[in-house]
Amino acid sequence: MALQDLTPQLRTRLNRMERAVGWFVLLATLLLLFGFGYYLYKTAERKGWFEAKAPFYIWADRATGLKPGDPVQMMGFDVGEITEVTAAPADDWEHNVYLQFDVKNTQAHKYIGYLWTQGSRAQLTSADLLGKRVVEVTKGTNGYPIYLFNPLQNISITEAHNLPELGKWKLAEEIYDATGTNRVIKALQPLSPELLQQVAAYKKYIRVIDMRGKEGKQITGVWNDQTAVFDFFAKTNIYRMPTDESPALSERAERLVSQVEVALPNFLRLTNDLSRVLSNSTALTSNLNVVAENARPMVSNLNTITAQLRNPEGSLGEWLIPTNTHAQLDLALTNANATLINANTNLANLADELSRSLDSLANITSNLNNQVQVNTNILTHLSDVVVHSDQFIQGLKHHWLLRSAFKTHKTNAPPARGVEPRRSPKDPSP
């Protein structure tokens, strides 16, 4: 049916319906666009598209368990993600794998501010038992912040003196003496006329940081370890972070398996030795059982003996010394005691007699000594008596009546040797 054939009332209702459908379609489209925009915003917020990101790169030995999109952790928090994992150029003899990652600032924490030139390191550690690895950065402890978010400027010393609010500007480089080895002024020192006068002795132009405003969301400078200055950030001068890489879990497992393979023969040998020891122990226990069976009568006899020993009459003494022997020993000991008593008495008497004899001998010698002391010629007389006695005996030997009493008996003496006549040395021997 054509539209011209409709009545004016139907035509009016149809126009109203068309306008309602158009408004509905427009409202649905707007809601769809709003929902899609909100989704994009949340996705960007979740992925950190509106947040500041600081790029870093490291060199690794291998890319095992690492891929782009993996999170980067610091103190247990996800602070960024890996953006690139590629092999080093073929002519690079020093490095194997190039790995780049980003660290971001969130609304709650500015994680980039934790990273300083000293103390911040990238550690490649195992994340699970399947060979997965994770990049974990450590918190800085000293030095300078790696990235800056305040404006940088290169100005002369004269321009530096004319800066507004001079105390809110900081030095963006380290100042060295003429030799280039001794540091004179550290970076991040607030500017002052005295400091500028000191810097003027070494440099005419300096790089400074404008600290008057708040930090922006875009990186403005990055620290250069070689030149000791904050360079202008151009997304090409990425900071290289020192790396500590631990072996992957699969490599550790392989090393462990290798060690087990090496140690397994020794372990089997040890088990064989243990089995042999257990067998010997079994045989020993069986032999001990036989020994115990054989020792059972001896134990019973010992039990009987100990029971006899507990007898108050002293059965052990009766076994060693019978009753008749005991009586004889008692009689012998009694006689020996009496003999010893008599001997003691006789010895006492003998000692008394001997003491009296010695006293008498002492008196005799004392009298003799007195006689000798009184009569000095007694020794001469005694000598004469001895000489006269010898002469008397010699006279008796020569008397004809007693000569035979002193005659000596002749023995078979050897014949006397004749004296040979002396010869001349020239005479021939006989």
String of DSSP letters for 310-328: T-TT-HHHHHHS-HHHHHH
Q: Based on the domain organization, do 76 and 144 belong to the same domain?
A: yes
Q: Distance (Å, rounded) from C-alpha 312 to C-alpha 315? A: 8
Quote the pLDDT of residue 33: 94
Residues 6+ apart with CB under 8 A from 175: 183, 184, 185, 199, 202, 203
For Cα atoms 239, 243, 248, give the angle at the middle one, nearest 5 degrees.
Answer: 140
Mean pLDDT across 13-20: 80
Greater confidence, 48 or 361? 361
The predicted model gives 254-269 an average pLDDT of: 74
If you average pLDDT over residues 346-362, what whole number do you get?
78
6 band by pLDDT with thresholds 50, 70 and 90: low
Residue 136 inside a domain? The answer is: yes
Q: Which residues are paired to 175 by β-bridges?
A: 185
The secondary element (H helix, E strand) that includes residue 239 is: strand 239-240
For residue 414, what are the CA distances in angstroms to 305, 407, 410, 411, 417? 85, 21, 12, 9, 9
Strands (E), 61-106: 71-74, 77-87, 97-104
> What is this structure's pTM?
0.53
Stretch 233-245: mean pLDDT, rounded? 92
Which of 203, 218, 91 has the alpha carbon at shortest distance from 155? 203
User: Is 134 inside a domain boundary?
Assistant: yes
Which one of 273, 298, 320 terminates a domain? Answer: 320
Q: Tell me: the pLDDT tens digits for 358-398?
A: 788 778 877 777 776 777 676 677 778 778 887 777 777 67
87 and 191 together in one domain: no
Residue 404 domain flag: no
Could you tell me the residue range of the domain that residue 194 belongs to? 151-214
pLDDT tens readout for residues 199-212: 999 999 999 999 99
| 86 shares its domain with 230 | yes
Residue 143: predicted pLDDT:
93
Examine the domain organization and report whether 291 and 193 are in the same domain: no
For the chain, what is the domain count? 5
Residues 6+ apart with CB under 8 A from 169: 160, 163, 190, 191, 208, 209, 210, 211, 212
Inter-helix orientation angle 378-398/323-374, to 10°: 100
| pLDDT of res. 235 | 84
Do 176 and 305 fall within a single domain?
Answer: no
Q: How many alpha carbons lie under 13 Å from residue 344 in its C-beta half-sphere?
A: 6
Cα–Cα distance list, 366 to 203, 354, 363, 372 (Å): 130, 18, 5, 10
Q: Is the pLDDT of residue 413 over 60?
A: no
pLDDT, residue 296, reads 78
Closest CA to 56 of 109, 121, 119, 107: 121
- Verify that 312 and 330 share a domain, yes or no: no
Q: Span 290-317, mean pLDDT? A: 70
Same domain, yes or no: 347 and 300: no
In a domain, 98, yes or no: yes
The answer to whether the CB of 108 falls within 8 A of the CB of 48 is: no
Q: Any residues with CB less than 8 A from the CB of 178 and at least 6 apart, and which?
A: 202
Same domain for 77 and 42, yes or no, is no
3-state DSSP assignment of residue 258: helix
For residue 213, give the amino acid letter: G
User: Averaged over 59-84, what is the pLDDT?
Assistant: 92
Assess whether 75 and 103 both reside in one domain. Answer: yes
> Where does a domain end: 229, 246, 263?
246
> In this structure, are 59 and 125 located in the same domain?
yes
The answer to whether residues 206 and 148 touch, using CB atoms and an 8 Å cutoff, is: no
- Calculate the average pLDDT of the chain: 82
Beta bridge partner(s), residue 135: 72, 124
pLDDT over 90, % of the chain? 39
Tell me if 387 is assigned to some domain: no
**SS3 at position 330:** helix
- Look at residue 339 and tell me if it is in a domain: yes
Is 385 domain-assigned?
A: no
Q: Is residue 117 part of a domain?
A: yes
* Shared domain check, 338 and 263: no
HEC profile of 126-181:
ECCCCCCEEEEECCCCEEEECEECCCEEEEEHHHHHCCCCHHHEEECECEECCCCC
Kindly state whether residues 83 and 114 are assigned to the same domain.
yes
> By the 8 A CB rule, do 204 and 180 touch?
no
